[in-house]
Amino acid sequence: MIRSVAVVGAGAAGLVTARELLRAGFEVTVFEEAHAPGGVWIYTPNVETDPLGQVGERIHSSLYASLHTNLPRDIMAFDDYPFDSSGGGHDDWPRFPEHTRVLEYLERFTRDFDLEPHIQFRARVTALEPTASGWRMRIAQADGEALREFDAVAVCSGHFAAPRVPQLDGADAFPGTQMHSHNYREPSAFRDRRVALLGTSASGLDLSREIAGVAARTYWCGELFDELPDAHRHEGRLSRLPAIDALRSDGRLVLRDGSTTEPIDDLVYCTGYHYRYPFIDSTLLTIDDNWVQPLYRDLLHIEHPTLALVGVPFRVLPFPLFEMQARWFARLLGGHFRLPPASAMHDHTAREIEALRAKGVKQRHFHQRTIDCFDYLDALADEAGVARAPAWRRQTAAALLAVLEKSRGNARNTPIPHFAPTVVPDDSIAR
Ligand code: FAD
């Protein structure tokens, strides 16, 4: 019989998980190490002392000052809390709003669902271990350490705070500066310099464009998209190059095609993040080349099925995915459906991994899905016996993917077909 549930983290995942658990009638305590809800959306101009983010004190947020969402707010929002005036937004906000708007949305979510009384701020979970009947947690707070026991735990601690920096040959002797996008806030330090960026995902896309606005030359290196996205074409001092294989002591980069660049002053790694759960012992959870195990449906600990890790899949629609995972976990804890035996859950995961390996997917991408993550969401909904995501989500995702394909990764300046009930500005809708 589950009564008390702890939630680690009060970012988007922790907030919606707390709401779903409260709705299902559980006693919920959220532990949040920051002073406020919002997680990654709490912007700070501060950066870590190690620009690569490998050692020293850590800063949670990876936001840069100019960041706008990379999803239209209609499809980004939780299912029953639109990003307009009927939920946590405004009707006239841009369809890809500034990061401050997302924080506002999450703050309003916290207020509207009366979550704050359930959250302990400035409370860092430092250890989590199973007991005969549930879980024991060690929590560090200003007034000392506390031990608390719970029947179940949802870990919602995020995975965009521990920078992944590939080991490039020659990195130690490279004379230029090296930093990770986690510690990038604005471009002024790059004025009139020769800058290279490695990585073609969301942060590489945004930072290459912003830095190209001030740098003498900008080289954007990586594997995806041979050509520059439309939004970057006006930047004459920006070139698209293959991935970097090595760094040389004269400052030049050796590229995947064997060519070399001119000497570079600054290298910015836009190479993503590691999963990191420092409060969970490695005998309980292993992270091997960014693959977290043993999980059923990328969510539930197979051997300890009262422990869920919400938000593990990436390149998805994060908020709706967190919401469905949270609903699934709340229904599981409430006894509304039965799990398959552990051996069948292991087999289920093994089959998924086999299929990924057969497609040549690298292990560090095993938790990667796409914006079109509805088969996954529907499987959770069906298993838990709750409503599937509304049809307009699939329609919007398909339209968005088509625009992303055409614009080579930047949909922000292109009107997109609109299917959601959310109110968005007229000029952002493709007719
Ligand atoms: P987080 O927001 O990271 O929250 C985790 C919380 O857990 C934090 O508050 C942290 O302080 C707390 N915590 C961690 N460890 C502990 C501990 N031991 N004890 C107590 N508390 C702890 N998503 C979108 O939908 N649209 C976008 O446009 C978008 N843009 C993004 C841009 C950037 C640069 C980044 C990094 C991410 C972006 N994302 C975007 C993804 C974003 O991370 C998710 O949308 C979502 O906000 C993540 O929520 P989360 O709750 O999983 O993690």
- Tell me the sheet residues that pair with 8: 31, 155
Q: Would you state the pLDDT for residue 410? A: 80
Question: Of the residues 160, 203, 367, which should be mutated to test ligand 1's pocket, given the most ligand atoms within 8 Å of the CB?
Answer: 160
Question: Of the residues 43, 110, 157, 412, which should be mutated to test ligand 1's pocket, given the most ligand atoms within 8 Å of the CB?
Answer: 157
Helix H or strand E segment including 144: strand 144-150
CB distance 71 to ligand 1 below 6 Å = yes
Contact between 31 and 8 (Cβ < 8 Å): yes
| Protein residue whose Cα sits closest to atom 9 of ligand 1 | 39
CB neighbourhood size of 9 (10 A): 27
* Closest alpha carbon to 380 in 317, 309, 329, 312: 329
Say which DSSP state 68 is in.
Answer: B
Angstrom distances, CA of residue 19 to CA of 117, 120, 139, 277 = 12, 15, 22, 23
| Protein residue whose Cα sits closest to atom 28 of ligand 1 | 69
- CB-based contacts of 270, cutoff 8 Å, min separation 6: 180, 181, 197, 198, 199, 200, 201, 203, 204, 207, 208, 222
- CB-based contacts of 198, cutoff 8 Å, min separation 6: 166, 204, 221, 222, 243, 244, 267, 268, 269, 270, 271
One digit per residue, the tens of pLDDT, for the chain of length 431 reads 999 999 999 999 999 999 999 999 999 999 999 999 999 999 999 999 999 999 999 999 999 999 999 999 999 999 999 999 999 999 999 999 999 999 999 999 999 999 999 999 999 999 999 999 999 999 999 999 999 999 999 999 999 999 999 999 999 999 999 999 999 999 999 999 999 999 988 999 999 999 999 999 999 999 866 666 666 666 678 998 999 999 999 999 999 999 999 999 999 999 999 999 999 999 999 999 999 999 999 999 999 999 999 999 999 999 999 999 999 999 999 999 999 999 999 999 999 999 999 999 999 999 999 999 999 999 999 999 999 999 999 999 999 999 988 887 788 889 999 999 999 999 999 98
The pair of structure tokens assigned to 96 is 């890809």
Q: 61 C-alpha vs ligand 1 centroid, how far in Å?
A: 8
Q: Would you state the pLDDT for residue 407? A: 81
- Tell me the sheet residues that pair with 195: 218, 266
Handedness of CA 361, 362, 363, 365 (dihedral sign): negative
Contact between 369 and 316 (Cβ < 8 Å): yes
Q: Would you state the pLDDT for residue 223? A: 83
Taking only the tens place, the pLDDT of each residue in 264-288 is 999 999 999 999 999 999 999 999 9
* Closest alpha carbon to 116 in 15, 262, 187, 192: 15
Taking only the tens place, the pLDDT of each residue in 154-191 is 999 999 999 999 999 999 999 999 999 999 999 999 99
CB distance 32 to ligand 1 below 6 Å = yes
| Protein residue whose Cα sits closest to atom 14 of ligand 1 | 157
Q: 161 C-alpha vs ligand 1 centroid, how far in Å?
A: 8
Task: State whether residue 219 is helix, strand or coil.
Answer: strand
CB distance 8 to ligand 1 below 6 Å = yes
CA 340 distance to own-chain centroid: 29
Q: Would you state the pLDDT for residue 229? A: 67
The pair of structure tokens assigned to 395 is 């329609």
Task: State whether residue 394 is helix, strand or coil.
Answer: helix
Q: 156 C-alpha vs ligand 1 centroid, how far in Å?
A: 8
CB distance 10 to ligand 1 below 6 Å = yes
Q: Would you state the pLDDT for residue 431? A: 82
CB distance 318 to ligand 1 below 6 Å = yes
Q: How far apart are the first and last CA of the chain?
A: 53
Q: At what angle do helices 12-23 and 318-333 cross, to 10 degrees?
A: 30
Its pTM stands at 0.97
Q: 125 C-alpha vs ligand 1 centroid, how far in Å?
A: 16
CB distance 157 to ligand 1 below 6 Å = yes
Angstrom distances, CA of residue 392 to CA of 89, 396, 412, 419 = 19, 6, 19, 5
CB distance 76 to ligand 1 below 6 Å = yes
Helix H or strand E segment including 376: helix 374-384
- State how far the Cα of 232 lies from the Cα of 413, in Å rounded to an integer: 11
Question: Of the residues 40, 315, 400, which should be mutated to test ligand 1's pocket, given the most ligand atoms within 8 Å of the CB?
Answer: 40
- Ligand 1 atom with the smallest distance to the CA of 68 is 28
Q: Would you state the pLDDT for residue 413? A: 85
The pair of structure tokens assigned to 86 is 């009927």
Contact between 28 and 89 (Cβ < 8 Å): no
Contact between 160 and 40 (Cβ < 8 Å): yes
Q: 255 C-alpha vs ligand 1 centroid, how far in Å?
A: 33
* Closest alpha carbon to 287 in 134, 159, 373, 156: 159
Q: Would you state the pLDDT for residue 230? A: 61
CB distance 9 to ligand 1 below 6 Å = yes
Q: 131 C-alpha vs ligand 1 centroid, how far in Å?
A: 29
CB distance 270 to ligand 1 below 6 Å = no
Contact between 59 and 46 (Cβ < 8 Å): yes
